[in-house]
């Protein structure tokens, strides 16, 4: 078993090692956790391009000792020209397309989140590192190239048939007309120039400057409804995070339009089901988690949308009486019926804690692998397809509406524990995000595993992700045979996947103790690492 990484002056975890190293380098130069995360976010947008991009969205949780936990919503809304009627005029009814310019419906918000976080760092935390430094590693990797990972190679090959004819995809992701080999250098010179422009002109240039005009012109020329006015109208915003009162402390996650509520609902139920005494690899724990997941997903699928359109206060659903009732409804010996999951997603989660205890939990995404698949010819930006979560039915919970925010699976997590510890954790993987969060938090905080052991241990996934059509309960093959059979006997539709299967997502975590020592874990299913100082 890989041991947890340990440090005291700072730590970063990311699903690509170069991003974690970018964050650590900033910490070593006197930067704070937010500056380190901006560096990591820009780097990973270059070195893990199938998972995320500066053409996507992002969410932040920020913890500064002695202050309330803060959240940044950097989610872009649907374009003003994006409506059910407009798509009907284009002959698109029923289901929105997943690929191509018609799937590029929403503004990309992630750079606005970097901008808001950087302003907070400078005004509130004394941050002084210039953007040229924070984006410096990303610029270099885009110019000089970065070795192709197994994950990028496999995802490019796996999605080639549906993406090769999407505008800009082949010219960017198929150098020399073929899937790039593992270890070969992958260069993105247009993206390098775009990042240099942001470092020189400022991050707001993405929405109001020369870069905004280039982005809007390319999107419109390709047939996307997103225009210059949509970019100019976008702002990242500070939000109050959702908060779960847990037996171990306070757990935080993002409010709608994300599914952060789901992650907290699961933990609230598990806290009441006696999981602290359960075997972290046993059938009782997996069954309890899966049944909690089902109830949380039912609430999600009837409740969560753009908060401007919600009739329920999501915080009220974390009330102790409501969680008590959910926990009582779980049959410890029988699986409840299960419907359909929301499907695949590609995302990265990263965490940073600096030497002063300031912590960031961050998630950045283009939704499906390679997003909409389009790459803008002027800027080299891959654009997200987050708008696929909208419905073309006006009676749906989340109908396509101009200016409306899409539902997001993204949800970074952070906990302040009663014993003085801080825990920042999260993962990628659509429906799998709250599932892995429940495993990593419970195994680490309630069951006493180290962060690395909790992340490396075999995991499960209920429903679809990464292109799988089945709605089964997927278990990694390292679960003991008797555990697998016990779950089948309780009525779970079990499917066995690989020993360390990317299907269950890429997790990560950092735990800071009151004495300042840090302990972190990265997912062996990813190309990531923990970088410690």
CA atoms within 13 A on the CB side of 233: 15
Q: Any idea which residues carry the catalytic annotation?
A: 347
Distance of alpha carbon 8 from alpha carbon 31, whole angstroms: 15
Distance of alpha carbon 313 from alpha carbon 317, whole angstroms: 7
CA 153 vs CA 15, 148, 156, 350, 431: distances in Å = 15, 7, 5, 22, 23
**DSSP H or E run through 12:** strand 10-14
Is 257 within 8 Å of 307 (Cβ atoms)?
Answer: yes
- What is the β-pairing status of strands 10-14 and 518-522? unpaired
Is 386 within 8 Å of 56 (Cβ atoms)?
Answer: yes
Which of 289, 68, 111, 320 is closest to 211 using CA atoms? 111
Distance of alpha carbon 54 from alpha carbon 57, whole angstroms: 8
Is 72 within 8 Å of 255 (Cβ atoms)?
Answer: no
* Beta strand segments in 276-395, E: 346-354, 359-367
């Amino acid at each position: 078993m890989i041991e947890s990484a340990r440090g005291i002056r700072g730590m970063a975890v990311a699903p690509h090692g170069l991003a974690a190293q970018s964050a650590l380098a900033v910490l070593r130069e006197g930067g704070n956790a937010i500056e380190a995360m901006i560096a990591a976010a820009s780097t990973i947008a270059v070195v893990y391009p199938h998972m995320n991009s500066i053409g996507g969205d992002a969410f932040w949780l920020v913890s500064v000792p002695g202050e309330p936990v803060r959240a940044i919503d950097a989610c872009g809304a649907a374009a003003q020209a994006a409506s059910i009627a407009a798509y009907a005029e284009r002959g698109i009814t029923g289901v929105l397309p997943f690929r191509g310019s018609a799937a590029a419906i929403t503004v990309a918000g992630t750079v606005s989140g970097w901008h808001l976080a950087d302003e907070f760092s400078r005004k509130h935390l004394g941050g002084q590192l210039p953007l040229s430094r924070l984006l410096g590693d990303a610029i270099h990797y885009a110019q000089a190239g970065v070795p192709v990972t197994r994950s990028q190679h496999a995802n490019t090959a796996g999605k080639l048939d549906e993406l090769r004819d999407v505008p800009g995809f082949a010219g960017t992701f198929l150098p020399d007309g073929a899937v790039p080999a593992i270890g070969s250098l992958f260069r993105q010179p247009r993206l390098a120039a775009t990042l240099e422009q942001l470092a020189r002109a400022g991050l707001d240039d993405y929405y109001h400057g020369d870069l905004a005009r280039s982005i809007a012109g390319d999107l419109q020329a390709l047939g996307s409804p997103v225009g210059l006015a949509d970019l100019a109208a976008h702002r990242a915003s500070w939000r109050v995070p959702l908060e779960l009162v847990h037996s171990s402390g306070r757990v935080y996650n993002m409010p709608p339009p994300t599914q952060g509520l789901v992650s907290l609902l699961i933990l609230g139920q598990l806290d009441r089901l006696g999981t602290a005494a359960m075997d972290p690899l046993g059938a009782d724990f997996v069954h309890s988690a899966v049944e909690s997941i089902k109830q949380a997903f039912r609430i999600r699928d009837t409740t969560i949308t753009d908060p401007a359109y919600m009739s329920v206060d999501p915080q009220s659903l974390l009330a102790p009486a409501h969680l008590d009732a959910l926990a009582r409804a779980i049959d410890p010996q029988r699986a409840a019926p299960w419907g359909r999951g929301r499907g695949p997603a590609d995302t990265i989660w990263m965490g940073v804690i600096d030497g002063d205890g300031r912590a960031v939990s961050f998630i950045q995404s283009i939704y499906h692998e390679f997003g909409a698949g389009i790459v803008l010819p002027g800027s080299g930006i891959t654009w997200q397809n987050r708008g696929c979560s909208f419905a073309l039915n006006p009676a749906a919970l989340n109908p396509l509406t101009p200016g409306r925010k899409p539902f997001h699976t993204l949800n970074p997590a952070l906990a302040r524990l009663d014993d003085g510890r801080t825990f920042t954790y999260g993962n990628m993987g659509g429906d799998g995000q709250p599932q892995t969060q429940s495993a990593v938090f419970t195994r680490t905080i309630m069951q006493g595993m180290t962060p690395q052991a909790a992340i490396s241990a075999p995991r499960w996934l209920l429903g679809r992700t990464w292109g799988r059509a089945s709605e089964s309960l997927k278990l990694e093959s390292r679960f003991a045979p008797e555990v697998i059979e016990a779950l089948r006997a309780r009525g779970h539709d079990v499917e066995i996947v690989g020993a360390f299967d990317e299907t269950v997502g890429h997790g990560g975590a950092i735990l800071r103790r009151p004495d300042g020592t840090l302990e972190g874990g990265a997912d062996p299913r990813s190309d990531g690492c923990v970088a410690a100082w």
